[in-house]
Amino acid sequence: MFIDSIMKLLIAVFIVSSNVFAAHLPSSFIRCHRRDSLCLKKAVQDAFPKFKNGLPEYGLPPSDPLLVPEIVIGAGERVVQLKQTYKNASISGLSRGILTYFNMDLEKGKIVMNIEMDHLILSGKYVANGKILVIPVNAVGDFQIILDNALSTLKFDIEIYKKNDVKHIRGTAANLVMKVKHASYKFTDIFGKNTEIGKSLNKVLNENWKIVYDELVPSYTEAYAQVMMQMMNRLFAKVPLSEIFLDQ
């Protein structure tokens, strides 16, 4: 009798645990057949604004602005020869992105999407040590980078795994490449209280925006790609494959 009671208790705990860990996709999200590329593109586009304020029940923080607690960048070799640390670096405008291409191939373990965004703002706190051009810099302040007409390609390597004998998806690698028509920069207190030199240096950075962008921004996008993959994995760790697609 005692053993039977224990077994019943263990079964009940297992059922409750399974319900806790296996969640449904939010009812407002569009579900598709896994090979219906048009439906999948529509579903992902439709989901962009729904992630804006986060989904606390799935452990997802807001995506717009998307926050990265810290980004560390080594010194470059051209214009920006700075070791840089960025705190609470955010990017605003992702929820307004227009999805122009989407493909998900479970067999090959790939997700690829192209996104157009007319206006993105990166901002936060920075610490920088090194040189810009030939000018020594040892600064702490605020930064803002504005990106106009951004064309992004976001790629994930994915795999299917089992949890509690239920299939889930997770990302194993992420890459974000972003091309822009123009970028502008503002770094405050880059020379402490000497605002005139700071203004002059910001002017030089903006006059050479493309060179600075090619050297500086890819480190940001790499960090943001990793955060996006973490968010995807949090969602899909709770929502099994059978809840994502209609034919699973």
Average pLDDT over the chain reads 87
* Residues linked to residue 207 through DSSP beta bridges, in sequence order: none
Q: What pLDDT score was predicted for residue 117?
A: 96
Average confidence (pLDDT) over 87-98: 94
Q: Is the pLDDT of residue 201 over 90?
A: no
Q: Is residue 212 very low, low, confident or very high in pLDDT (cuts 50, 70, 90)?
A: confident
Would you place residue 22 in the very low, low, confident or very high pLDDT band (cuts 50, 70, 90)? low
Q: What's this model's pTM, rounded to 2 decimal places?
A: 0.84
pLDDT for residue 236: 95
Q: Can you tell me the distance from the alpha carbon of 50 to that of 153, in angstroms, rounded to the nearest whole number?
A: 21
Per-residue pLDDT reduced to its tens digit, 101-135: 999 999 999 999 999 999 999 999 999 998 877 77
**pLDDT of the residue at 137:** 84
**What's the pLDDT score for residue 76?**
66
**Percentage of residues of the chain with pLDDT beyond 90:** 64
Indicate the pLDDT class of residue 247, thresholds 50, 70 and 90: confident
Nearest alpha-carbon partner for 176 in 18, 55, 66: 66
15 or 239, higher pLDDT: 239
**Can you say whether the dihedral through the CA atoms of 185, 186, 190, 194 is positive or negative?**
positive
Q: Determine the residue type at 160.
A: I
What's the whole-number mean pLDDT along residues 175-201? 89
Q: Rounded to 5 degrees, what angle do the CA atoms 133, 180, 146 make? A: 70
Compute the average pLDDT of residues 145-167: 96
Which residue from 105, 94, 232, 92 is spatially nearest to 172, judged by alpha carbons? 232
Length of the chain: 248
Q: Is the pLDDT of residue 15 over 50?
A: no
Strand partners, 240: none
Q: Evaluate whether 45 touches 221 at the Cβ level (below 8 Å).
A: no
Q: pLDDT by residue (tens digit) across 53-83? A: 999 999 899 999 999 899 888 776 666 787 8
Q: How far apart are CA 28 and CA 30, in angstroms?
A: 7
- Encode pLDDT of 132-148 as tens digits: 777 788 899 999 999 99
Q: DSSP secondary structure string, the chain?
A: -HHHHHHHHHHHHHHHHHHHHS-PPPTTS--B-TT-HHHHHHHHHHHGGGGTT-BGGGTBPPSSSEEEEEEEE---SSSEEEEEEEEEEEEE-GGG-EEEEEEEETTTTEEEEEEEEEEEEEEEEEEEEEEETTEEEEEEEEEEEEEEEEEEEEEEEEEEEEETTEEEEEEEEEEEEEE-SEEEEEETTTTTT-HHHHHHHHHHHHHTHHHHHHHHHHHHHHHHHHHHHHHHHHHHHHS-HHHHBTT-
| Residue 185: band (very low, low, confident or very high) from pLDDT cuts 50, 70, 90 | very high
Domains, the chain, ordered by start: 2-244 (3.15.10.30)
